[in-house]
């Protein structure tokens, strides 16, 4: 899809959008700056002007995605947890954060671009892997682990808790990165808000069942 850029801000946004699509579909190494500029309907020199070159553009794409997640989750991710958070409050907060992340894939026009790009970055990390890990993957996992530990009254092995949280993340991410498979198998016409809410309801039931199992084991 072609883009028509007008003004420095629009040019920068168009270049990021084009790079998200091309890097996601073809890989960073396979895409030239000329191709990105043409796809963004921008001058090739604008990549160096706005980002310092192709690596800087890739970093900007990562920062763009991180910004979307941080803005969507808000204080639940970026601020310290409230003092004296109860187990049920932590569970509700955890449930809400997962639901918000799943809704990103159904509520944004660029959701598929974001998912494809981030999937490739996660599977085939490059020089921005440290940025992706430190700014997004690590803080998300840490916050989910904090909330899950409070929700279950955790007193056991921290490694098991971390793996349990990763399994929950895997469930939620599947609906985003494997959306075409889900849509085809479910016989849906697409994956909009209604379909996302149906998936969220099932995920929420699974989450609460896992929490109840851990609570019962911790009380035994």
* Pure H helices in the chain: 8-26, 33-39, 45-51, 54-73, 75-78, 87-107, 111-123, 129-132, 138-152, 158-177, 179-186, 193-219
**Is pLDDT of 162 > 70?**
yes
Kindly state the percentage of the chain with pLDDT values over 70.
95
> Tell me, what's the pLDDT at 127?
60
**Is pLDDT of 60 > 50?**
yes
Q: What is the CATH number of domain 1-52?
A: 1.10.10.60
CATH topology for 59-219 is Tetracycline Repressor; domain 2 (1.10.357)
Over residues 134-146, mean pLDDT: 94
> Tell me, what's the pLDDT at 157?
79
> Tell me, what's the pLDDT at 107?
86
pLDDT in tens, 79-111: 999 999 999 999 999 999 999 999 988 888 898
Region of poorest pLDDT, from 1-5, 16-20, 87-91? 1-5
Whether residue 126 contacts residue 28, with contact meaning beta carbons closer than 8 Å, is answered with yes
Give pTM, 2 decimals.
0.88
Domain boundaries, the chain: 1-52, 59-219
pLDDT in tens, 197-210: 999 999 999 999 99
- Residue 69: phi and psi, rounded to 5, are -65, -45
Are 1-52 and 59-219 the same fold in CATH? no
Using alpha carbons, select from 150, 24, 35, 161 the residue that is nearest to residue 87.
150
């Amino acid at each position: 899809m072609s883009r028509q850029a007008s003004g420095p801000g629009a040019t920068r946004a168009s270049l990021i959008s084009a790079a998200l699509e091309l890097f996601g579909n073809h890989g960073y190494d396979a895409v030239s700056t000329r191709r990105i500029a043409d796809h963004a309907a921008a001058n090739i020199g604008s990549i160096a002007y706005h980002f310092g070159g192709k690596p800087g553009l890739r970093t900007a794409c990562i920062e763009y995605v991180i910004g979307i997640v941080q803005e969507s989750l808000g204080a639940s991710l970026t601020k310290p947890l409230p003092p004296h958070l109860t187990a049920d409050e932590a569970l509700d907060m955890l449930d809400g954060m997962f639901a918000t992340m799943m809704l990103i894939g159904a509520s944004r026009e660029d959701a598929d671009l974001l998912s494809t790009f981030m999937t490739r970055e996660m599977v085939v990390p490059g020089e921005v892997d440290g940025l992706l890990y430190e700014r997004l993957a690590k803080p998300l996992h840490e916050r989910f682990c904090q909330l899950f530990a409070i929700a279950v009254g955790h007193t056991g092995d921290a490694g098991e808790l971390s793996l349990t949280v990763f399994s929950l993340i895997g469930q939620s991410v599947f609906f985003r990165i494997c959306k075409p498979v889900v849509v085809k198998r479910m016989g849906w016409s697409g994956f909009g808000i209604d379909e996302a809410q149906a998936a969220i309801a099932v995920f929420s039931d699974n989450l609460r069942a896992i929490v109840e199992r851990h609570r019962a084991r911790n009380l035994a």
